[in-house]
Amino acid sequence: MAENVEAPITGKIWKIEKQVGDALSEGETILIIESMKMEIPVEAPCAGTLSEIRVEEGQAISEFDVLAVID
């Protein structure tokens, strides 16, 4: 079952650490959000394979936006 990875805060995508097809462990950093001059890592909520990345570096995002999908 697919698991959505949602933005925990409004900000901008600073860096994408993983690629589609990468195997992930629970808690592994997928990407980093820049918000209020802080870098916030977004971690995998579960183990699985990264099947989608729905954002690009530099993109503005809002809290609860779906950033990626893990299968």
HSE of 8 in the Cβ direction (CA atoms, 13 Å)?
13
Sign of the torsion angle spanned by Cα atoms 41, 44, 24, 15: negative
Six token digits for residue 29: 């950093």
Six token digits for residue 69: 């999908």
Segments in the chain below pLDDT 70: none
Cβ neighbours for 69, distance < 8 A, ≥ 6 positions apart: 2, 3, 4, 5, 50, 51, 52, 54
- pLDDT attached to residue 4: 97
- pLDDT attached to residue 1: 78
Domains annotated for the chain, with CATH where assigned, are 3-70 (2.40.50.100)
